[in-house]
């Protein structure tokens, strides 16, 4: 029911053409940027998380087919089985090993696509350490991986042209329906009182807040951090939805090939060099997220919270 409510609210916003909610438009204009516009990525190293399915898989496929097979970029793919609801904090320890392995093999990292995600699993599903599964997977997991790889990203930025090193954080227009409630990041009565879709929306807000704070902290050191809504895309993200809701989605979704457009734009286009901290909407356009996602006080608070959670890993 919550999924349907959000769908109906989205439709209402589109019909009323609320300019403050432009990012929820379901029918974006024809894309001006496509995979064919990906610039030469010779010598670049790219890491795409969540690349075993959906948008991440398509982004990796395009990067590999357009770049790697023409002896340009080297593309690494990172994936985990969120379908099993595996504990994210437990996974973070595995990410430490994976990151260490990556760092042993690579001396540069130019583009990190934080793409992996899960949407609206049963509310009962939490991480091993009691975090909401969606916050743990969609926000805290990306924060921790970025933290592990940040020294390499900063090192790469020192020897690269301005705007070359980028971190692209996948969010959603669903962030419009919830701000951040720190009391629901971990399991408890307050979190259990929320629906899975409300917790999903919160996690997507977290992606934008994290991205904006990352930009504020590291823009002067050559990191271009952006977030985006990839579009209403046919993927496995809605795996937990009921049959009727999945049918509704099937009527309005775009092919997964469209899902990579805005990601590729954010990660590769020369136009993005001066657009750090921005939130992009389909297809490859600057959008306007919730105002609170740009609040530096909220950004600092979320950053400090996540630092504390991963401090002992």
Catalytic residues: 171, 200, 204
Q: Beta strands 279-281 and 165-170: pairing type?
A: unpaired
Helices 2-16, 243-252: crossing angle, 10 deg rounding: 30
Q: What is the DSSP letter of 138?
A: I
3-class SS of residue 279:
strand
**Cα angle: 275, vertex 280, 284; to 5 degrees:** 95
Q: What is the DSSP letter of 237?
A: G
- What sign for the dihedral angle of Cα 168, 119, 244, 20? negative
Residue 186: Cβ-neighbour burial (10 angstroms; 0-12, 13-18, 19+): middle
Nearest-angstrom CA–CA distance, 108 and 240 = 37
3-class SS of residue 152:
helix
Nearest-angstrom CA–CA distance, 291 and 289 = 6
Nearest-angstrom CA–CA distance, 210 and 42 = 29
């Amino acid at each position: 029911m919550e999924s349907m409510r959000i769908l109906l609210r989205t439709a209402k916003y589109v019909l009323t053409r609320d300019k403050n909610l432009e990012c929820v438009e379901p029918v974006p204009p024809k894309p001006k940027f496509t995979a064919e516009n990906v610039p030469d990525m010779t010598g670049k190293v790219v890491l795409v998380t969540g690349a075993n399915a959906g948008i991440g898989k398509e982004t990796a496929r395009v990067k590999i087919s357009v770049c790697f097979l023409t002896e340009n970029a080297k593309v690494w793919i990172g994936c985990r089985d969120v379908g099993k609801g595996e504990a994210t904090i437990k996974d973070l320890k595995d990410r430490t090993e994976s990151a260490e392995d990556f760092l042993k093999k690579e001396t540069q990292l130019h583009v990190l696509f934080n793409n992996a995600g899960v949407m609206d699993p049963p509310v009962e599903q939490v991480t091993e350490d009691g975090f909401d599964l969606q916050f743990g997977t969609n926000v805290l997991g990306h924060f921790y991986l970025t933290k592990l790889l940040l020294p390499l990203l900063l090192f790469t930025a020192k020897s690269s042209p301005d705007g070359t090193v980028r971190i692209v954080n996948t969010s959603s227009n669903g962030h419009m329906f919830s701000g951040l409630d720190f009391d629901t990041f971990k399991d408890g009565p307050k979190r259990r009182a929320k629906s899975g879709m409300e917790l999903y929306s919160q996690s997507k807000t977290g992606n934008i807040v994290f991205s904006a704070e990352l930009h504020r902290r590291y823009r002067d050191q050559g990191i271009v951090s952006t977030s985006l809504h990839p579009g209403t895309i046919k993927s496995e993200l809605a795996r937990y939805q009921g049959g009727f809701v999945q049918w509704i989605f099937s009527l309005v979704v775009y092919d997964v090939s469209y899902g990579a457009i805005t990601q590729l734009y954010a990660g590769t286009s020369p136009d993005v060099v001066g657009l750090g901290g921005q939130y992009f909407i389909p297809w490859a356009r600057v959008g306007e997220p919730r105002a609170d996602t740009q609040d530096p006080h909220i950004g600092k608070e979320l950053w400090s919270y996540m630092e504390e959670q991963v401090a002992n890993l």
